[in-house]
Amino acid sequence: MAEEGKVAELKEKMANVKSKAQEGIASTGEFVKDKAKVVDDRVHNNPWPVVGGVFVSGLLLGYILGKSK
């Protein structure tokens, strides 16, 4: 009998953990979507700094990888 109570208590705790995890995942997804929208807007409004950053990153990566051979 006591074991049934413990099982019910564990099931309730697991349900609470599951609902909190789902809420966290949902809020994180919304946060990421909002930040992606902000980045997208900034890149569309002023793309040249991003293009320059990608270009410089490519040069550095090519230099590092080319130097090891």
pLDDT computed for residue 31 by the predictor? 94
Q: What is the band of 46 on the pLDDT scale with cuts at 50, 70, 90?
A: very high
Q: Identify the helix (H) or strand (E) that includes residue 69.
A: none
Dist CA 19 CA 11 (whole Å) = 12
**64, 57 in Cβ contact below 8 A?**
no
State pLDDT tens for residues 8-25.
899 999 999 999 999 999
Question: Does this model's pTM top 0.85?
Answer: no
pLDDT computed for residue 19 by the predictor? 94
pLDDT computed for residue 1 by the predictor? 67
Domain ranges of the chain: 2-67
46 in the Ramachandran plot: left (φ > 0), alpha (ψ -120 to 50) or beta?
A: beta
pLDDT computed for residue 18 by the predictor? 93
